[in-house]
Amino acid sequence: MDRMLVVVFDNEAKAYEGRKALQQLDAEGSIGLYGYAVLAKHPDGTTSVKQGDDVGPFGTLVGTSLGSLIGLLGGPVGIAVGAMSGLTIGAVADLDNVRVGDDFIDDVSKSLTPNKVAVVAEISEEWTTPVDTRMEAIGGTVLRRALSEVRRTVDDEEIAAMKADVAQLKAEHEKAQAERKAKLQAKIDALETKIRARQQKAQQRRQADEKQAKIKAEVLKKNAAAAGKALRNLANTPL
């Protein structure tokens, strides 16, 4: 199951130890690690992605659910992002793209208090014990949530609703007096502009989803191979 994972630590050293543990679990085939970042919450309430940190197989967090969550955790002043990731607050703070509930974001915000550091990751895991055991041993507080698959449905429903409004306005336009036609046409034009923008955004999301799906498939394929190798080694180990 694909999940969003946030593990909060008391300091940066433990957070990097936590990230290393996730990478080891991925190499062992225990989880699939798609993307990750280390976030620090500063005393003034701002949040930064640590400069020089890599982001895993995704290569960039822009357009991903993980990137969107990081943007939403940026705090009231905004997020300071390392040059390595290419992230900007406008690019990532997309509530429609984050695919987890507001309550999860609230829980993370309450746990990620000033001077705390977190590892934020998008993972695939079949059971929670491997991650929880490693993170708790380091002193991490684990929060996780399964990723929702409803995003495309929301896009389609909103576009359909706006098209219904346009159809209604056009019907009224046909019967309206001359002075009213101009106002109705302005509303029609505005709605059609919004529809085109929403369709473009939906198309961009679908393309990003397709790209990420390919990356995830490669990660899972690699993990299956690693798990198979580990089982073969175990079978060949003398008792």
Determine the longest span between alpha carbons in the chain, in angstroms: 92
Task: Based on DSSP, count helices (H) and strands (E) in the chain, helices before strands.
Answer: 8, 6
Residue 56 has pLDDT above 70, yes or no: no
Highest mean pLDDT among 22-36, 46-60, 84-98: 22-36
pLDDT at 89: 39
pTM to 2 decimals?
Answer: 0.64
Is the distance from CB of 158 to CB of 194 less than 8 angstroms?
Answer: no
Domain ranges of the chain: 2-148, 149-239
Q: What is the pLDDT of residues 80-128, one digit of tens each?
A: 333 334 443 333 445 666 777 777 888 898 999 999 999 999 888 888 8
Q: What is the pLDDT of residues 153-199, one digit of tens each?
A: 666 777 888 899 899 899 989 988 888 888 899 999 999 998 998 88
pLDDT at 87: 42
DSSP state of 88: -
H or E segment to which residue 235 belongs: helix 178-235
In angstroms, the CA 231 to CA 61 distance is 33
Sign of CA dihedral 197, 205, 63, 109: positive
In angstroms, the CA 165 to CA 154 distance is 17
Mean pLDDT of the region 227-236: 58
In angstroms, the CA 52 to CA 70 distance is 16
